[in-house]
């Protein structure tokens, strides 16, 4: 997220007379062009850190799909789960429909902020995208639009699976892939010479005859119709001698009897069976026919109808196919992605490798098809599978592919602060120019690589070489102490960094020591020593610090001071430790500890992001999010897949089916279990949970008071910790204890022991 500097209030050093200097705030935004401006155009001291008086809302992505908005103090202001989106994808729309006709229909369900209607030229049907003002309106619209008759067509409505700006990833779960052997026959032709036979094979292979793609090959055996025999496969059932004569001058031609006569009769038989299974919205027979196998895609209005059709058709052998040809039906679910052509070219080699990997690992269940829409892109990609778990794994791997390959050494990401500074960024841009087709970016202490694998390997080699050079450079540590620390890092450090480079000169905060770290040769070390001595010689440590400059954590004069908006001054390292420890403490919102911990000023989230590393900042945001969610068990529910980290809000209407954006499991919003099509929640509970309740009644099983997840106690004491929400629980009475504090005293006092006899 990019935040405009004009919203940031900066604390400058106080003048000797006690007044704060005025600052040109237009300059902070780069707007000031007045050469005679009387306000100082001096950048703030980078180590008397920026504070904010405005309560920012920062969106943070949790577990890839959930967006949490945090404000000062790391307090959650709003959560948009991966199940929620403002977009609705509406399918089977007439290509002649205009935006002016669609808007009144959609606005009956809410405010439409954006409507995307593609060009319908040459199309039989359109899929349009509508963005509503709220996720609730979008969900309501999708429920009401599904199956609605509009301009003579029955519409379909889907919510995208994620919370990306355009919501392009949509799960299609109403299609059935149907295959059976096409009506066909074998033909044999004999040729005088080998060259004639090979010429006939070349002419026939790939030739489309009445919708069938032929294959041909030399063979030995019966029937022997010439010196060199060619077998023609997948011929139409009514193929005649003249059909084979076009491939060469054969001595003799014979045919086997066809397996059955009519594709049209078989198609009608399959169509009748499909219509008996539910509301069929589309039936496509794919032509030409390859490998003698008919492929049909049947699309239904609901997931349940598609599942029913699969069960009904699979294994059937209708009379129209001679009674011996079996139908294979698969309820296939698919995800559609759209990539810009430039990005697709970067990833094309990896996509091909991923496709072949899936064929082996998933036994041909997962398929990936790419289709270039126009010469300039985009490229549409469809990933399909019958097994929803396999599709979820494939989805995660494909999305990871789009993020980029992390440059690692011994399975750990390599990183040096050099790569985040201008000189390092310039180095990465040079590599992009040197190896066309690759993309390089840095994110949260990682270097990410995209592009053709050969080019990536070259760029990775150069990055690794530079990293090893940086690690091999000598490091010098110069202790900083006393009152000179603040003045040095305020002005001397800035000057030194301009000389040596910010990545080669920085202050390291240890528990009780501040060190100036220099990376480089002995000359750089000497320059730094002179700079430190020059500053320290002007200050004496003997004076007693004023109460205003005492850090509320270590109770000494603040070293490398950070001034909060409330006026309290902290050591930067103490503030950093306070923020990092909050990941375990989970006591939000985070407030200043000044005035004997009575100050209510919330810690600026902008300030925290500047102090913390990317990993620590992300961990603190996640801790705040989970603390918020686990305090609202009536509002938020966990995905029922055990190892899935997604949460969702209950949806209006007990029959609403939600789809997890991560593992793709379908969830009933009424009973918060996997979807149970065709059964009410009560019927499902009686039919599927009877055995569980019987088992739970005879075992030590209780629901976690934090997230309601069932827990079985098999051994150990009565101090239980939920593996999902980390709630500390007394097993006897289900009382909860933050961080487990006081739980053993409670168990001894209230229950006479901790649940283990020898203790």
Whether this prediction's pTM lies above 0.75 is answered by no
Per-residue pLDDT for 159 more than 60? yes
> Which of 206-220, 368-382, 638-652, 666-680 is predicted most confidently?
206-220
Distance CA 704, CA 709 (A): 5
How much is the pLDDT for 658?
84
CA dihedral 196, 199, 204, 205 (to 10 degrees): 130
Structure token digits, residue 622:
């996640």
How much is the pLDDT for 610?
85
User: What are the distances in angstroms from CA 324 to CA 181, 265, 317?
Assistant: 10, 15, 6
Distance CA 503, CA 506 (A): 7
How much is the pLDDT for 437?
83
Residue 50: band (very low, low, confident or very high) from pLDDT cuts 50, 70, 90: very low
Tell me the mean pLDDT in the region 535-554.
Answer: 66
**Per-residue pLDDT tens digits for 561-620:** 888 988 899 888 888 888 988 887 778 999 998 888 788 999 999 999 888 877 788 889
Contacts (Cβ under 8 Å, ≥6 apart) of 175: 297, 298, 299, 300, 306, 331, 332, 333, 334
408 Cα distance to chain centroid: 21
Q: Tell the residue number behind the tokens 């539910």, with chain if given.
A: 278
User: What are the distances in angstroms from CA 428 to CA 415, 417, 421, 432?
Assistant: 13, 13, 11, 6
Structure token digits, residue 600:
């209510």
> Which of 12-26, 170-184, 513-527, 541-555 is predicted most confidently?
170-184
Residue 77: band (very low, low, confident or very high) from pLDDT cuts 50, 70, 90: very high
CA-based nearest residue to 197, from 241, 236, 251, 242: 251
Are 568 and 550 contacting, i.e. CB atoms less than 8 angstroms apart? no
Tell me the mean pLDDT in the region 227-253.
Answer: 94
Beta bridge partners of 215: 233
Tell me the mean pLDDT in the region 338-364.
Answer: 87
Distance CA 582, CA 576 (A): 10
CA-based nearest residue to 250, from 333, 180, 187, 295: 187
Share of the chain above pLDDT 90, in %: 27
Distance CA 599, CA 603 (A): 11
Residue 512: band (very low, low, confident or very high) from pLDDT cuts 50, 70, 90: low
Residue 28: band (very low, low, confident or very high) from pLDDT cuts 50, 70, 90: very low
Are 380 and 343 contacting, i.e. CB atoms less than 8 angstroms apart? no
Distance CA 427, CA 503 (A): 13
Tell me the mean pLDDT in the region 536-546.
Answer: 57
How much is the pLDDT for 8?
29
Residue 635: count of CB within 10 angstroms of its CB: 13
Per-residue pLDDT for 480 more than 80? no
Residue 490: band (very low, low, confident or very high) from pLDDT cuts 50, 70, 90: low
Distance CA 594, CA 575 (A): 12
CA-based nearest residue to 54, from 10, 14, 110: 10
Distance CA 606, CA 276 (A): 61
Q: Which helix (H) or strand (E) holds 750?
A: helix 743-751
**Per-residue pLDDT tens digits for 93-144:** 888 888 999 999 999 999 999 998 888 776 677 888 899 998 889 988 988 8
Distance CA 115, CA 26 (A): 38
User: What are the distances in angstroms from CA 186 to CA 191, 235, 372?
Assistant: 17, 6, 36
Are 747 and 732 contacting, i.e. CB atoms less than 8 angstroms apart? yes
Are 512 and 558 contacting, i.e. CB atoms less than 8 angstroms apart? no
**Per-residue pLDDT tens digits for 398-409:** 887 887 888 888
Mean pLDDT taken over the chain: 81
Residue 300: count of CB within 10 angstroms of its CB: 25
Residue 76: band (very low, low, confident or very high) from pLDDT cuts 50, 70, 90: very high
Instruction: Report phi then psi at 165, rounded to 5.
Output: -55, -40
How much is the pLDDT for 55?
57
Per-residue pLDDT for 31 more than 50? no
**Per-residue pLDDT tens digits for 426-443:** 999 999 999 988 888 887
Q: Which of 184-188, 196-200, 408-412 has the lowest mean pLDDT?
A: 408-412
């Amino acid at each position: 997220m990019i935040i405009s500097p004009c919203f940031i209030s900066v604390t400058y050093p106080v003048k000797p007379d006690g007044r704060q200097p005025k600052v040109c705030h237009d300059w902070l935004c780069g707007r000031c062009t007045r050469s005679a401006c009387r306000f100082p155009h001096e950048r703030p001291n980078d180590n008397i850190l920026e504070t904010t008086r405005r309560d920012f809302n920062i969106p943070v992505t949790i577990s890839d799909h959930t967006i949490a908005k945090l404000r000062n103090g790391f307090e959650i202001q709003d959560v948009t789960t991966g199940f929620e989106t403002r977009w609705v994808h509406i399918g089977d729309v007439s290509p002649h429909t205009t935006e002016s006709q669609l808007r009144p229909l959609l606005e009956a369900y809410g405010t439409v902020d954006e409507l995307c209607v593609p060009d319908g030229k040459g199309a039989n049907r359109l899929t349009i995208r509508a963005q509503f003002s709220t996720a609730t309106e979008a969900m309501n619209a999708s429920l009401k639009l599904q199956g609605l008759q509009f301009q003579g067509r029955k519409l379909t409505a889907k919510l995208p699976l994620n919370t990306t700006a355009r919501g392009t990833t949509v799960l299609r779960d109403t299609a059935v892939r149907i295959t059976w052997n096409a009506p066909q026959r074998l033909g044999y032709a004999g040729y005088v010479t080998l060259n004639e036979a090979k010429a006939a094979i070349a002419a026939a292979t790939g030739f489309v005859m009445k919708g069938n793609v032929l294959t041909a090959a030399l063979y030995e055996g019966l029937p022997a119709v010439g010196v060199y025999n060619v077998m023609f496969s997948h011929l139409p059932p009514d193929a005649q001698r003249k059909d084979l004569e076009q491939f060469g001058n054969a001595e003799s031609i014979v045919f086997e009897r066809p397996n059955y006569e009519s594709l049209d009769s078989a198609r009608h038989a399959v169509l009748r069976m499909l219509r008996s299974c539910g509301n069929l919205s589309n039936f496509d027979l794919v032509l030409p026919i390859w490998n003698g196998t008919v492929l049909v895609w049947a699309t239904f209005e609901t997931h349940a109808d598609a599942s029913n059709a699969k069960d009904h058709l699979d294994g059937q052998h209708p009379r129209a196919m001679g009674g011996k040809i079996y139908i294979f039906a698969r309820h296939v679910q698919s995800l559609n992605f759209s990539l810009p052509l430039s990005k697709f070219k970067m990833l094309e080699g990896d996509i091909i490798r991923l496709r072949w990997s899936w064929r082996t690992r998933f036994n041909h269940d997962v398929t990936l098809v790419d289709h270039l829409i126009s010469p300039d892109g985009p490229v549409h990609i469809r990933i399909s599978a019958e097994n929803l778990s396999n599709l979820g794994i494939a989805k995660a791997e494909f999305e990871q592919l789009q993020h980029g390959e992390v440059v690692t050494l011994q399975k750990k990401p390599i990183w040096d602060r050099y790569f985040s500074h201008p000189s390092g960024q310039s180095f990465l841009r040079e590599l992009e120019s040197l190896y066309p087709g690759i993309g390089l970016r840095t994110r949260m202490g990682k270097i990410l690589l995209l592009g053709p694998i050969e080019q990536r390997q070259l760029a990775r080699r150069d990055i690794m070489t530079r990293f090893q050079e940086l690690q091999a450079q000598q490091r010098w540590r110069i202790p900083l102490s006393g009152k000179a620390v603040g003045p040095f890092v305020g002005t001397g450090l800035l000057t030194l960094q301009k000389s040596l480079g910010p990545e080669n000169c920085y202050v390291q905060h240890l528990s009780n020591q501040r060190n100036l770290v220099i990376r480089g040769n002995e000359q750089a070390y000497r320059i730094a020593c002179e700079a430190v001595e020059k500053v320290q010689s002007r200050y004496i440590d003997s004076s007693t610090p004023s109460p205003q400059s005492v850090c509320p954590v270590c109770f000494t004069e603040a070293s490398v001071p950070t001034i909060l908006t409330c006026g309290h001054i902290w050591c930067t390292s103490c503030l950093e430790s306070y923020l990092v420890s909050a990941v375990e403490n989970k006591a939000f919102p985070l407030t200043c500890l000044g005035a004997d911990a009575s100050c209510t000023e919330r810690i600026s989230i902008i300030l925290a992001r500047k102090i913390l590393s990317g990993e620590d900042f992300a961990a603190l945001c996640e801790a705040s999010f989970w603390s918020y969610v686990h305090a609202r068990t009536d509002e938020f529910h966990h995905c029922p897949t055990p190892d899935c980290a997604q949460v969702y809000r209950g949806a209006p209407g007990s029959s609403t089916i939600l789809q997890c954006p991560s593992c793709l499991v379908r969830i009933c919003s009424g009973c918060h279990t996997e979807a149970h099509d065709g059964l009410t929640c009560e019927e499902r509970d009686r039919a599927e949970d009877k055995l569980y309740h019987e088992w739970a009644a005879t075992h030590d099983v209780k629901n976690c008071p934090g997230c309601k997840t069932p827990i079985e106690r098999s051994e150990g004491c009565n101090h239980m910790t939920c593996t999902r929400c980390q709630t500390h629980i007394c097993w006897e009475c289900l009382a909860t204890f933050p961080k487990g504090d006081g739980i053993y005293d409670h168990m001894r006092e209230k229950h006479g022991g901790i649940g283990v006899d020898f203790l």
